[in-house]
Amino acid sequence: MENYKTIIKVKQKSKNNSNCIVISDDGESWEISMDLVLKFKIAKQATFSIEEWNKIILEQQLILCKSTAYSFASYKPRTKKQIYDKLITLDFSQEEIAQSLVFLEEYNLIDDYEFSRKFIQNRLLTKKIGELKIKQELASKGVDKNTIEQAIENFYPKENVEELINAEIDKKIRQISRKPKEKQYPALFNYLLGRGFKIEDIKKAIAKHFEKQ
């Protein structure tokens, strides 16, 4: 029957995997979750119209997308965009991805604001960098501009910027101490600029440093 699928075999995939391998009379096979097997009463000799079967396969694909998204999000903190990009590479549809992202949000598995908070705190534990650098890095991970601005405002230690810059000056100056003073300034300036500090903060800190010399 061209417009129907008749099931000739249903077996559990393995002892450690409750999904089922379902085979139809035309030789096609699918891996389908036990929940769907029970929900749609998929069993040997069961017959489904092509339309009914396609709906089952679409539902199975959504389950797979959600499961993949869950695994990716729970392995380590990710942004919404990072998860979206991963799912796109696995050829899930836009609708499947959208529903999976909503699913993750409902269970608090993705939260770009919380991700940004942790990112700022962890980044500053390993590197003394400016807010511009952190903004750039968060943007590269797909965090939207408003979320970045809020996170920087609330979690970047602006009151300690001078201390952060001075620590970087002390480190860099040891590397360029043999250079003439007139070459040390631009070397420091460009280095600190690359670390993501603001120009006005850099100028102020460098000026104070050379005043002490």
Across the chain, what does the average pLDDT equal?
Answer: 94
pLDDT tens digit sequence for 145-156: 999 999 999 999
Taking 90 as the threshold, does the pLDDT of residue 211 lie above it?
A: no
pLDDT tens digit sequence for 61-113: 999 999 999 999 999 999 999 999 999 999 999 999 999 999 999 999 999 99
More confident residue, 29 or 3: 29
Residue 119: CB partners within 8 Å, gap ≥ 6?
Answer: 77, 134, 137, 138, 141
Structure tokens at 175: 């590397």
| Single-letter code of the amino acid located at 73 | A
Taking 60 as the threshold, does the pLDDT of residue 39 lie above it?
A: yes
The domain segmentation of the chain, as residue ranges, is 4-106, 112-156, 160-211
Fold assignment, 4-106: Arc Repressor Mutant, subunit A (1.10.10)
pLDDT score, position 213: 64
Sheet holding 17-24, edge to edge: 29-32, 17-24, 4-14, 47-49
pLDDT tens digit sequence for 113-168: 999 999 999 999 999 999 999 999 999 999 999 999 999 999 999 999 999 999 99
**In this structure, CATH architecture of domain 112-156:** Orthogonal Bundle (1.10)
Structure tokens at 36: 């769907």
